Structure 1
Amino acid sequence: MNNILSSLVGNMQTFRDKTAITESSRSITYGGLNALSNVYLRQLQKQGIQAHDVVAIELERSIEAIAAMVAVLKAGAAYTVINKDYPDSRKQTMRSTIQVKATINEVLQPDPLLEDIWDFPARSAEQLCYIVFTSGTTSTPKAVGIPDRGVLRLLGDERLGLSPEKTISHISPLEFDASIIEIWGGLLSGMTISLLSKTEILNIYHVEKRISQGIDVMWITCSLFNFWVDKKPEMFRSLSRVIVGGEQLSLSHVNEVLKYTTVVNGYGPTENTVFTTLDVMEQGSVMKEIAIGTPVHGTQTFIVNESGESAVEGELYAGGQGVAIGYLGNPEKTNEAFIRWQGRDVYKTGDLVRLNEEGKIVYLGRKDTQVKINGYRIDLQEIEYTVRAQGIRNCHAFVREKKIYLAITTRSEQLGQVLKQLLPMYMLPSRIVYVQEIPLTANGKTDTRALYEQHFLSKNKKLAQILQQYLPGAALNEQTNIFEQGIDSVTVWEIAREINQRFNADISFFDVFEHPSIEQLSNMLGEEHYAANYL
């Protein structure tokens, strides 16, 4: 199989009357999806879209968005998804980087007369299929170009559990590369895609209801998996398997869910098309170690030491059919990450791994999570592993202002003392905070910024943030009288409201008048609420 559309047309014909995509209150058959995609195709043809052009899709996760993706590929073009909520400057950067020729942002209706029409140019395995933007460690987004072959090779791996009689969920944001396995893995396997809305995903009981209505395979990020497991692990019992990835898995959460279903650890950077390795952990087993497993079908992996030689521990290189074309419009970054190694084209993942006794790859951490503080090199994921080994269900370690901070979701008054016996002094967190849950980004990954600002930022710095918001450009210190900065009464009301919201306080307009500096406001708020969150 070397052509996405030839596979899809076979499914459109074989499963013409079968449900292709279902939402909470509507659905569409494979025949209907073909008809709707043809409506979008005709729109693209009117705009002069040709083979190898790039089309942007600005639609919410929906039946229409998936139909638009099919239409773009029928046109011989490639698509990228641009979130409509992105800042205009970011949207413009994305468009100019990949030279977007057209945008699909309309919700159209299927034309039944187009249900049996297949008229499109042939595609090759090397043809650009889609583009995902990943920011990495820089503020400038990088455009990862993925060819058809990268998607097709995923279908050859039975460990994903993709087959026509099953239903796969679709919960990933469209701009997130995990949506590829949900959408194309589903359609190219003749499955039904069960699309959950944002509202449903935020309500664990709605998710459980949709699972019970017939979802067999589900992909979720590690952070969202941990969140749901903490709340209701039995919700996974009717799944044939749950595929988890995006971050390092938690051993305790995995073992909890193995009581109910099979868990598949799906590891892989965007630059190697969704998954690079898989490890299947069968229902009923008890794991002693989390491994990322063995290579996906059509993929080769290599562990390379600092001398550039094969080793049992080092950086993971990935080769084979999944490797991206590169970073479009960025030859410098492409040449750094996509290299020739021992006569092979490979992608340097930047992930540190080792080979265990079973021949499986074990993830050790990112090269760039090894931070340097006071001259010591520290791996934050080693700290997290040590913390979880003490019975802490979920945690997140990060660095701000050259200090290590640790958030935990299980109360443990002795954790600080225990860590002193297990970690060297330079790896000990400066502050440990209990939180009810780890905040997540829209992509389902840990939102470190929100975590820091909500639970670790000092009271005075929070107040400074609030005042600076209403006094842009003012040079504020803890003793600055805000009324010397030309503030008006309306702004004072706004400041009082913001402080009450951020601190769960009850201060008035007059309190701000009587305590016009950061220091005075801080003293007035006191320590009771602030200290309540800490161990």
Structure 2
Amino acid sequence: MVGNLLEILDWNISEYQDSVAIAESHRTITYGQLNKLSNGYLRVLKEWGVQEHDIVAIEMDRSIEAIAAMIAIWRAGGAYTVINKDYPDTRKQLMREILSVDFTIDESLYVLPASGEQPEKPVHRSSEHLSYVIFTSGTTSLPKAVGIPDRAVIRLLGEKRLGLSPGKTISHISQLEFDASIIEIWGGLLSGMTLALLTKTEVLNVYTVEHRINQGIDMMWITCSLFNFWVDKKPGMFKKLSHVIVGGEQLSLSHVKKALQYTKVINGYGPTENTVFTTLDVMEGDADEIRIGTPIHGTCTYVVNEQGECSNEGELYVSGLGLALGYINNPEKTEESFVKWNGMDVYRTGDLVRLDRTGKLEYIGRRDTQVKINGYRIDLQELEYTVKFLGVENCHAFVKDKKVYLAITSSYEKLADDLKKHLPMYMIPSKIVEVETLALTANGKMDTRALYEEHFVPKSVKLTNVISKYLDSSQLEVHSNLFEFGLDSVTVWEISRDINETFNADLSFFDIIQNPSVHEILNVLGEKKYAANHL
């Protein structure tokens, strides 16, 4: 296979000039038109003075223009990084500083397609050329910038199980700063496929997603949490897909079985540091267990025990063409994770796995999901596994203020009692709450913070926090008269508005005037049962 991304892309542009490259709900663009638009962005980059090996930031939602900008950055000899435009300004600035970014393309930049099809002097790219940078969260507040070279993306194209081939359509639903977007965008465009781009609004509407699938999507990549959400709502929506690739978190067997009635499910596992996928497992109708499978094309895997020797159970090491160049401008973290082992360059994933009798890898958990509370070491994934073993379809365990909390999506009155039959007392959650759905982040992963604030923070605490914004609240208690703390007609309007936004309620000015305490307001909000039992 040729050595850099632009050579492959240019071949596809020439071969599929008039074929649709990207289809949004109300507009499409062909490969030829996309090329001209990207050269329009390239002209701007040259005017700005972008040089070879510069890293250029993109602050845009997924769109035709964002992808054209990425191609232009490659043509300029640079690499791109995506910064979510909704991030706080301090976070954006930190990311730019880590990468020494001087140039940013955002949605305010209007570009006309260039008349010429190719730039005058295309830059030379090698297989080791930095292609893009994706930020991952670190163990500190400082994010890690993972640098991915051309070769790592190209090696994905050789994996037959992904089903990437000309004439097919792959969905594009991932946030651009998430590495799932790589298999969608470049797995698609470098294979002569069409990208079916869905907006944030479309992705949240199951019926809109089904409509787009029925219009002609062949395959999708979906995070596990989003997959579970869709399966719970309408599993039949997948029936026209040849297959769906699910990853990002550990799969739920019950959800997989429901989806397998309509399509093939592929479990896609892999850290960002080894470029999207490390292993795959193709699951069909009779699947009765979850495995992360076997290595993809261009990747080797090793199960290493605590003594640093190959074993049937231990930490997963990976090597091969998918390895990142390391963490940009962070040599200390790079040396910790990208190491020499038995004379090879490997990445230590931090994931614990087991090799089964068929040669497939089984995911056990992460070293860093083991938390210590009151002197006891607790594995949150072991807790989640046990909950699912007992029949709960989906759940999420997390720690807050040295307490274990568990959210479940199935009704199970005696779950705590049954957990005590399988787990030691120190692993039993302090609080178990049944929720309709598990909150997701913009990247489609579990939103622990939102889950905690919505379902585990006592309503009295939430209400007190709202009121405290407007009154002198140092001595405020649930039965305190708010007029004694400075409540007046102006603050009543402000408090009622804030309460309505926080609790999705319809509290009036007079509701607060007539019920001037946290306790009474909770009753008005329909929380009488809660107030009686928990205040």
Give the whole-Å Cα distance in 2 for the aligned partners of 1:533 and 1:10: 68
CA displacement 1:135-177 (0-9 Å, x = unmatched): 2332222111111111111111111110012111000011111
SS at match of 1:495: helix
**Contact 2:519/2:531, CA 8 A, preserved across alignment:** no
Match of 1:114 among 113, 116, 120: 116
Give the whole-Å Cα distance in 2 for the aligned partners of 1:4 and 1:224: 30
Give the whole-Å Cα distance in 2 for the aligned partners of 1:75 and 1:526: 60
Sequence identity of aligned pairs in percent? Answer: 64
> 1:10-29 to 2 correspondence within 5 Å?
10-29=11-30
SS at match of 2:132: strand
**Contact 1:23/1:196, CA 8 A, preserved across alignment:** yes
- Could you say if the C-alpha distance between residues 163 and 504 of structure 1 is closer, same or farther in structure 2, counting changes exceeding 3 Å? closer
SS at match of 2:221: strand
- Could you say if the C-alpha distance between residues 531 and 335 of structure 1 is closer, same or farther in structure 2, counting changes exceeding 3 Å? farther
Quote the residue 1:419 is aligned against: 419
**5+ residue gaps, structure 1:** none
Quote the residue 1:93 is aligned against: 94
**Contact 1:178/1:274, CA 8 A, preserved across alignment:** yes
Q: Which amino acid aligns with 1:349?
A: T
> 1:400-415 to 2 correspondence within 5 Å?
400-415=400-415
Query: Which is worse superposed, 370-379 or 61-70?
Result: 370-379
Deviation at 1:478, TM superposition (A): 3.0
Q: Which amino acid aligns with 1:212?
A: N
> 1:126-275 to 2 correspondence within 5 Å?
126-275=128-277
Deviation at 1:457, TM superposition (A): 0.8
Give the whole-Å Cα distance in 2 for the aligned partners of 1:499 and 1:381: 36
Quote the residue 1:277 is aligned against: 279
Give the whole-Å Cα distance in 1 for the aligned partners of 2:501 and 2:101: 42
**Contact 2:39/2:114, CA 8 A, preserved across alignment:** no
Query: Which is worse superposed, 30-39 or 452-461?
Result: 452-461
- Could you say if the C-alpha distance between residues 393 and 111 of structure 1 is closer, same or farther in structure 2, counting changes exceeding 3 Å? same
Give the whole-Å Cα distance in 1 for the aligned partners of 2:502 and 2:35: 50
SS at match of 1:31: helix
**Contact 1:64/1:107, CA 8 A, preserved across alignment:** no
SS at match of 1:319: strand
Q: Which amino acid aligns with 1:495?
A: I
Give the whole-Å Cα distance in 1 for the aligned partners of 2:516 and 2:144: 45
- Could you say if the C-alpha distance between residues 467 and 119 of structure 1 is closer, same or farther in structure 2, counting changes exceeding 3 Å? same
CA displacement 1:419-445 (0-9 Å, x = unmatched): 222222222122221111111111111
- TM-score of the superposition, structure 2-length normalised? 0.93
Quote the residue 2:477 is aligned against: 478
Q: Which amino acid aligns with 1:430?
A: S
> 1:374-523 to 2 correspondence within 5 Å?
374-470=374-470, 475-476=474-475, 478=477, 488-503=488-503, 508-509=508-509, 512=512, 518=518
Give the whole-Å Cα distance in 1 for the aligned partners of 2:185 and 2:156: 12
Query: Which is worse superposed, 415-424 or 216-225?
Result: 415-424
Give the whole-Å Cα distance in 1 for the aligned partners of 2:533 and 2:202: 29
CA displacement 1:285-329 (0-9 Å, x = unmatched): 222211111112111111122222222111111211111111112
Give the whole-Å Cα distance in 2 for the aligned partners of 1:126 and 1:476: 62
Give the whole-Å Cα distance in 2 for the aligned partners of 1:512 and 1:336: 57
Q: Which amino acid aligns with 2:203?
A: I
Quote the residue 1:321 is aligned against: 321
**5+ residue gaps, structure 2:** none
Query: Which is worse superposed, 199-208 or 411-420?
Result: 411-420
Q: What value does the CA root-mean-square deviation take over the aligned residues?
A: 2.4
**Contact 2:41/2:111, CA 8 A, preserved across alignment:** no
Quote the residue 1:286 is aligned against: 286
Give the whole-Å Cα distance in 1 for the aligned partners of 2:346 and 2:305: 15
Give the whole-Å Cα distance in 1 for the aligned partners of 2:518 and 2:176: 43
Give the whole-Å Cα distance in 2 for the aligned partners of 1:459 and 1:196: 36
SS at match of 2:469: helix
Give the whole-Å Cα distance in 2 for the aligned partners of 1:351 and 1:444: 21
Give the whole-Å Cα distance in 2 for the aligned partners of 1:513 and 1:329: 58
Deviation at 1:459, TM superposition (A): 2.4
SS at match of 2:324: coil
Total equivalences in the alignment: 531
**Contact 2:523/2:531, CA 8 A, preserved across alignment:** no
